[in-house]
């Protein structure tokens, strides 16, 4: 009967440990958590070629795991204290409470990074306790102690594969919260078994103690160990029996202090033992390697697999199932330890410690080498490093150190290991070189050698899959493409597939951006000769309001909030008088187009200063409404994270952010020039006018449209003046009935611009000059708000990141062209 109970305890302990190491299945858990949307706010998207830029998201997940594993060591110390002081039963009770907290949070359907942090900390805190509490069960069969400990360790490691089984179930359509509800039920069963099956004390009760005597008679090779175990357990039984009788003093802190003083000398001797210190030193280094590897595995595989979800899933599963091999490896290691112990030869331990360090270092090296197939070697290296790292300490501590303080010895070791593990996140950041700004952008010069090449490039250009600094024109003439870090590999692969000639430009995008950020970070004051972030522009509007000219009214009015809650503020420069028409000018509907906002702010300043006679004349006749930043969230994001971000910051399905606000308006929405891919630069949203920013501007256009002379929505870059319409009918670019008058005024605008510096500007309808589109602001204003003269000037470049010395030339061009435009409209409408 006793033999059966011992066997049942060992088997149940294996089952418990098998489910108790789910935290080690971090790659599989991350795969699910990403699909659930955790930390999705840290992702950005730069193209349709490669969907998601999630370096910051990967860093957040890495931080969660590294910190949770760091704090988990205190779980070992806590369980060690409970185990040594109160016995196994209460130690086991304490292991289940954080586990239930974790499963409860993960089954709550609340997608929150902070709650995830708490969940994973609780999970790993509990996991360490489960491993420690199960390890001491090996004392039930002393002559096979090392083998049983190795079995528990290998079962714990096999949790990696169990986590992948959960991932596969999730991929089959079972919701994550249901999976963790089920695991909560399993935990309750395990909690019940602690009271019905497992030993109460450390680790034996009286019946189990009798069993040791039985083993003693059978195995003469371990009498000293058995006697030592019995004496240790007898000591614990006496402590537990005293506390059981004196229930009122069960948690008496003074009793604890008195007991601790008696035992601290032995504990100090244990922790200062050379073997203990040597073990901890080697294991700490290898623990860092293991944590670094497992916490960075997802991002490494995703990078090398070009974010191919199926390939990523396959590699994570392969990594997980390779860990099943630890069953054989762990048993072999346990057998070696047994032999080494019996022959009193510690050479085997030294050899395995060396192998531990080599295998741990190798997996870090393999992760650094960005070859996908080579990672399989790392999966096996992790297997060996993981087993050796976590199998050796409990065996050494139980066999050669004071068993009475096993719990505290293991706990102290785990705290030290965890402290080293905390270094995994800084190392990860260093390895992937995640700086705050986009220091990996590069420019590629592509030469279309034939018509097929040219048509392919033009198609890419029209779909806005990548950013062209010099657009494709004729064969043999190079164009320049700005590539984000995520675009480089897939785009260059496409170029190689079609046998393009291309080369990297000498332009140092990284250096230019770092210089830009450094300058802007050191200057937070509003400056018309430089680029200003959103808050600084708002301060600038207040400053210009304070300089309102005599006889004028300057008001700043919010037309509504953005998706993230920023105000869309309109500066109204008005004057009393009947029949005064409105001229509306907006900019930065596409976030990265800083030059548009800087130019428009200079136009506003000119009208306020009235230093130009033309400015005085215009203000005497018209009221001016300025919306400098149509897209506040995206615009600020370009200052904080991604200089070349285009869209707003709404979260989309599939892990991508942003709606193209200039495809979201209620004008033939979703018909031409858009993509249904939520990661696309031209994604128009899930529905027409789905964005707050869009609705706010639409409402304003409807309110003032009948009294508006001209509406100018300013963009960069391209040196074009575009008129409605952007969409097609029956495959042909649609022209309004008054297109001739629109074209005539657009010509005047472009001619005025060209006069300043002798540049060349294209003019015509959006659809004919650029490409078909739909849901654009310029179309909505004309079609729905009734503003006859609406325009989209695409200002000078070069590119989307011109230097600040382009602000004044851009202003000079715009101001001269704008004056010509208004004069031409007045001539057409007979307003002179």
Give the active site residues: 794
Strand partners, 585: 626, 712
Q: What angle do CA 207, 228, 408 make, to 5 degrees?
A: 95
Place of tokens 């409970």: 82
One DSSP character per residue, 81-129 reads HHHHHH-HHHHHHHHHHHHHHHHHHHTS----HHHHHHHHHHHHHHHHH
Sign of CA dihedral 569, 575, 576, 582: negative
Pair 30, 60: CB distance under 8 Å: no
- Strands 789-795 and 720-723, sheet pairing: antiparallel
Distance, in Å, from the CA atom of 800 to the CA atom of 288, rounded to the nearest integer, reads 43
Q: In a 3-state reduction of DSSP, which class is residue 580?
A: coil
Structure tokens at 491: 């785009």
- For residue 155, give every residue at least 6 positions away whose Cβ sits within 8 Å of its Cβ, in sequence order, or none: 14, 17, 18, 21, 327
Q: What is the DSSP letter of 777?
A: H
Whether 469 and 482 have beta carbons less than 8 Å apart is answered as yes
CA proximity to 387, closest of 415, 363, 422: 363
Q: How far apart are CA 351 and CA 263, in angstroms?
A: 34
User: At a CB cut-off of 8 Å and minimum separation 6, what does 277 contact?
Assistant: none
Q: How far apart are CA 68 and CA 22, in angstroms?
A: 13
Partners of 554 in the beta sheet? 573
Residue 41 CA to residue 770 CA, distance in Å, equals 33
292, 428 contact by CB (below 8 A): yes
The CA-atom distances, in angstroms, between 213 and each of 159, 238, 460, 561 are 35, 19, 80, 77
The rounded radius of gyration (Å) of the Cα atoms in the chain is 35
Residue 375, judged by CB atoms within 10 A of its CB (0-12, 13-18, 19+), counts as buried
Helix (H) / strand (E) containing 439: none
Contact 450, 512 (CB under 8 A): no
Category of 528 on φ-ψ map: left (φ > 0), alpha (ψ -120 to 50) or beta: alpha
Burial class (CB in 10 A: 0-12, 13-18, 19+), 462: middle
Count of C-beta atoms within a 10 Å radius of residue 519: 12
820 with 749: CB under 8 angstroms?
yes
CA distance 34 to 29: 9
Between helices 253-271 and 406-421, what is the axis angle to 10°?
Answer: 70
Cβ atoms within 10 Å, residue 529? 11
**How far is the C-alpha of 158 from the C-alpha of 792, rounded, in Å?**
61
């Amino acid at each position: 009967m006793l033999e059966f109970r011992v066997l049942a305890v060992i088997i149940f302990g294996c089952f418990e440990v098998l489910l108790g190491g789910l935290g080690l299945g971090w790659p599989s858990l991350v795969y699910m958590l990403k699909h659930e949307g955790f930390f999705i706010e840290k992702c950005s998207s730069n193209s349709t070629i490669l969907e998601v830029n999630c370096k910051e998201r990967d860093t957040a997940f890495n931080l969660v795991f590294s910190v949770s594993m760091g704090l988990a060591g205190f779980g070992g110390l806590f369980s060690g204290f409970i185990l040594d002081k109160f016995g196994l039963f209460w130690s086991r009770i304490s292991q289940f409470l954080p586990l239930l907290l974790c499963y409860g949070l993960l089954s709550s359907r609340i997608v929150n990074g902070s709650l995830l942090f708490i969940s994973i900390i609780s999970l790993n805190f509990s996991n360490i306790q489960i491993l420690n509490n199960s390890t001491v069960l090996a004392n039930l069969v002393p002559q096979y102690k090392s083998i049983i400990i190795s079995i528990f360790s290998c079962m714990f490691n096999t949790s990696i594969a169990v986590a992948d089984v959960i991932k596969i179930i999730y991929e089959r359509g079972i919701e994550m919260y249901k999976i963790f509800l089920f695991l909560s039920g399993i935990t309750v069963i395990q909690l019940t078994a602690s009271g019905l099956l497992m030993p109460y004390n450390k680790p034996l009760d009286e019946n189990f103690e009798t069993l040791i005597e039985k083993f003693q008679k059978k195995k003469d090779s371990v009498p000293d160990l058995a006697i030592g175990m019995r004496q240790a357990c007898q000591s614990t039984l006496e402590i537990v029996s005293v506390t059981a009788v004196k229930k009122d003093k069960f948690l008496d802190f003074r009793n604890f202090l008195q007991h601790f003083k008696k035992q601290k000398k032995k504990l100090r001797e244990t922790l200062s033992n050379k073997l203990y210190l040597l073990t901890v030193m080697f294991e700490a280094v290898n623990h860092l390697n293991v944590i670094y590897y497992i916490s960075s595995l997802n991002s490494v595989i995703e990078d090398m697999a070009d974010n191919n979800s199926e390939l990523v899933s396959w590699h994570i599963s392969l990594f997980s199932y390779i860990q099943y091999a630890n069953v054989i490896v762990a048993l072999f290691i346990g057998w070696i330890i047994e032999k080494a112990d019996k022959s009193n030869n510690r050479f085997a331990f030294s050899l395995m410690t060396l192998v531990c360090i080599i295998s741990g270092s190798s997996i870090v090296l393999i992760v650094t080498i960005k070859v996908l197939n080579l990672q399989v070697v790392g999966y096996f290296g992790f297997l060996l490093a993981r087993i050796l790292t976590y199998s050796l300490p409990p065996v050494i501590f139980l066999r050669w150190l004071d068993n009475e303080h096993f719990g505290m010895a293991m706990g102290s070791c785990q705290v030290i290991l965890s402290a080293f593990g905390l270094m995994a996140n800084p190392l990860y950041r260093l390895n992937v070189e995640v700086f705050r700004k986009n220091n990996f952008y590069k420019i590629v010069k592509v030469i279309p050698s034939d018509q097929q090449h040219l048509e392919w490039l033009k198609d890419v250009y029209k779909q806005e899959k990548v950013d062209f600094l010099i657009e494709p024109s004729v064969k043999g003439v190079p164009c320049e493409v700005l590539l984000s870090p995520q675009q480089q590999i897939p785009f260059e692969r496409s170029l190689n597939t079609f046998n393009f000639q291309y080369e990297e430009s000498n332009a140092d995008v990284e250096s230019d951006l770092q210089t830009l950020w450094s300058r802007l970070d050191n200057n937070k004051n509003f400056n018309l000769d430089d680029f200003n972030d959103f808050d600084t522009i708002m301060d600038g509007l207040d400053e210009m309001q304070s300089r309102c000219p005599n006889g004028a009214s300057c008001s700043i009015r919010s037309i509504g909030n953005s998706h993230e809650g920023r105000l869309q503020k309109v500066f109204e420069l008005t004057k009393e008088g009947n029949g005064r028409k409105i001229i509306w000018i907006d900019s930065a509907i596409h976030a990265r187009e800083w030059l548009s906002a800087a130019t428009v702010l200079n136009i506003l300043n000119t009208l306020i200063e009235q230093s130009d006679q033309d400015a005085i004349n215009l203000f005497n006749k018209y009221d001016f409404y300025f919306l400098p930043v149509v897209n506040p969230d995206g615009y600020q994001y370009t200052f904080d994270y991604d200089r070349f971000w285009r869209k707003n910051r709404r979260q989309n399905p599939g892990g991508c952010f942003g709606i193209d606000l200039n495809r979201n308006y209620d004008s033939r929405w979703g018909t031409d020039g858009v993509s249904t891919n939520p990661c696309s630069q031209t994604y128009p949203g899930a529905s027409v006018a789905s964005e707050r920013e869009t609705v706010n501007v639409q409402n304003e256009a409807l309110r003032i449209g009948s009294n508006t002379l001209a509406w100018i929505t300013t963009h960069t870059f391209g040196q074009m003046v575009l008129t409605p319409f952007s969409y097609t009918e029956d495959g042909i670019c649609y022209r309004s009935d008054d297109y001739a008058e629109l074209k005539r005024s657009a010509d005047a605008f472009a001619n005025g611009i060209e006069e300043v510096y002798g540049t060349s500007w294209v003019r015509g309808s959006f659809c004919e000059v650029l490409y078909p589109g739909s849901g654009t602001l310029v179309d909505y204003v004309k079609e729905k708000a009734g503003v006859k003269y609406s325009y989209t000037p695409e200002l000078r470049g070069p590119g989307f990141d011109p230097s600040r010395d382009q602000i004044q030339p851009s202003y000079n061009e715009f101001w001269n062209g704008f004056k010509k435009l208004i004069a031409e409209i007045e001539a057409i409408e007979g307003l002179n």
